Amino acid sequence: MISEAKTDKYVAEYFEKMLKRQFEAGDKSALLQAIYGCLQLRRPMPEWLQVAFLNACEAAERFEIRSWDEVFGRPVPKGTHLETEKRNAELRFLIIGRVKELRTEMPIDRSLFEKIGRELNPPLKGTTVSEIYYDKRNYELRKMIFNLNTSENS
């Protein structure tokens, strides 16, 4: 079981390393993701998040924006296949957790992803499982689950 102190560390790391970095790189949706995460986890908002949100609200009050999409980004980017994204989001934790369980028994390769794919209901191809696992949006999650410090070995 993960202690509350470790959970707090992971949450802080997620907000500071992932969402703040995404927001500073221009990913507007990271602002709403971070606010949602703080509210969901009942955690105080980091200072960078408070400042960014206040700046967004003040921009609206000064009529500097036409739509909240300018501040927070589009909820779903154009061209997104919703059913595929929903499926991938639902399977993300399961796949990463299963890779962690199985990596002591077998290498992280095509056969591992095929095995996991056969276990799913409905089954998926190994390449699809691999794509979900290696999706760049899951990098920080994989680091936290595998407790990696600097570079990803899995």
Q: What is the pLDDT of residues 67-126, one digit of tens each?
A: 999 998 888 888 999 999 999 989 998 999 899 999 999 999 999 999 999 999 999 999
Q: Write the DSSP string, 52-87.
A: HHHHHHHHHHTT--S-HHHHH--SS-TT--HHHHHH
Domain layout of the chain by residue ranges: 4-72, 82-146
- Sequence-distant (6+) residues with CB within 8 A of 33 are 19
Stretch among 6-10, 49-53, 111-115, 132-136 having the lowest mean pLDDT: 6-10
Percent of the chain residues topping a pLDDT of 70: 87
Q: What is the pTM of this model?
A: 0.61
